[in-house]
Amino acid sequence: MDFDKTVINAAIEALLENPADTEAAAVIIQFGSTLPDSDRISYESTTITKTSGDSATGHTQEQGNVSVPHDHEEKKEYSRGVSFERAGFYKIWRQNDRIIFQDFWKADITTQGTGEQPPEYSVLYDQADLEYKDLCIEIDKKRFVFGGRWLLGMVLSISIQYWKSLRTGEETYLGYSVKITNIRTP
């Protein structure tokens, strides 16, 4: 089934504006329930290589011999564990009986400007009949970060997540995640 990602983005915006909007939640659930179930343990790796490529050389009467280098950057990304889709300004994935989304640009490991992760939102639903239950925001993430040479330059992040219902205000523990991140640059 094909989904219009701009409609999903609009539904996310509408649900964030009004957590009681069941029509917007239904659009998100219909799309999110088709996504593969993601693991709580994930691995992300980005390798950036800069290569000096060919150069164009020539001779002009005004400048003499001229050489223009052609350098380029190649980026390879690999991830395992969390399988997400991009829907407009958001990345969206499914874990068990919830669909999670967050701002795409701030959440991407190569574009996060401030280094601070944006909040995750979780749409809770009944898997049997796809009925909307609640919209929660991650209010606290106890993050334990390990890294350094002994982990081959990788960063291990273990998070315990606490969520708050945007409909009732109730706070609850909804899970944990383990993320291994590796960024290699020259």
Query: For the segment 83-98, what is each residue's pLDDT rounded down to a tens digit?
Result: 788 888 898 989 877 8
Question: Which comes out higher in pLDDT, residue 93 or 151?
Answer: 93
Domain count, the chain: 1
Average of per-residue pLDDT across 153-168: 77
Report if residue 173 sits inside a domain: yes
Report if residue 144 sits inside a domain: yes
Q: If you average pLDDT over each of 49-63, 101-115, 146-160, which comes out highest?
A: 49-63
pLDDT of residue 18: 94
Percent of the chain residues past pLDDT 70, beyond the cut: 72
Type of residue numbered 139:
I
Please list the residues that pair with 95 across neighbouring strands.
98
Report if residue 135 sits inside a domain: yes
Report if residue 174 sits inside a domain: yes
pLDDT of residue 13: 94
Report if residue 19 sits inside a domain: yes
Report if residue 145 sits inside a domain: yes
Report if residue 65 sits inside a domain: no
pLDDT of residue 130: 92
- Report residue 11's pLDDT band, with 50, 70 and 90 as the boundaries: very high
Tell me how far CA of residue 129 lies from CA of 23, 25, 62, 97, 135, in angstroms. 15, 13, 75, 11, 17
Report if residue 119 sits inside a domain: yes
Q: Are 24 and 15 in contact (CB under 8 A)?
A: yes
The domain in which residue 17 lies consists of 5-47+76-184
Q: Are 141 and 168 in contact (CB under 8 A)?
A: no
Q: How far apart are CA 168 and CA 100, in angstroms?
A: 18
pLDDT of residue 50: 72
